[in-house]
Amino acid sequence: AQSVTQLDSQVPVFEEAPVELRCNYSSSVSVYLFWYVQYPNQGLQLLLKYLSGSTLVKGINGFEAEFNKSQTSFHLRKPSVHISDTAEYFCAVTTNTGFQKLVFGTGTRLLVSP
């Protein structure tokens, strides 16, 4: 079975600074990887996904992530954050394109301060 590890439970950063949210996965087969954002008391919104092809994936709101198979990582980055980026970010993995058994990490809270 696959698993996801988000080592950082909280990442504080100042506005306009760059940020990287770390995600490592474990799987014995090929995976599909996702990053979702959750604002307070709301559902999840897809930021970006890796299914195949280029390992550098660009998403919404200026976020990007790089799939590194050798390091089994899919870290999320943004070169300059805004106050409005304050939210919970979840990395998720599945081995099925039908999203069966989508497994989420424990989440990273990004706190952007002025």
Partner 1 sequence: GAVVSQHPSWVICKSGTSVKIECRSLDFQATTMFWYRQFPKQSLMLMATSNEGSKATYEQGVEKDKFLINHASLTLSTLTVTSAHPEDSSFYICSAYVTGELFFGEGSRLTVL
Footprint of partner 1 on this chain (CB under 8 A)?
A: 36, 41-46, 51, 90, 97-107
In the complex, what is the shortest distance from the CB of residue 70 to partner 1, in angstroms, rounded to a whole number?
A: 26
The candidate with the shortest Cα–Cα distance to 11, out of 83, 112, 105, 106, is: 112
Q: Are 19 and 8 in contact (CB under 8 A)?
A: no
- Give 101's DSSP letter: T
Question: Which stretch of DSSP H or E encloses residue 94?
Answer: strand 87-94
Residues whose CB is less than 8 angstroms from the CB of residue 24 and which lie 6 or more positions away in sequence, other chains included: 4, 5, 7, 71, 72, 73, 74
Q: How far is the CB of 108 from partner 1 (least distance, A)?
A: 11
The residue among 107 and 112 lying less far from partner 1, judged by its C-beta, is: 107
Least distance CB 85 / partner 1 (angstroms): 19
Closest to partner 1 by CB, 52 vs 70, is 52
The pairing of beta strand 64-68 with beta strand 73-78: antiparallel
Q: How far is the CB of 16 from partner 1 (least distance, A)?
A: 27
Which CB sits closer to partner 1, 75 or 104? 104
Between residues 15 and 22, which has the closer beta carbon with respect to partner 1? Answer: 22
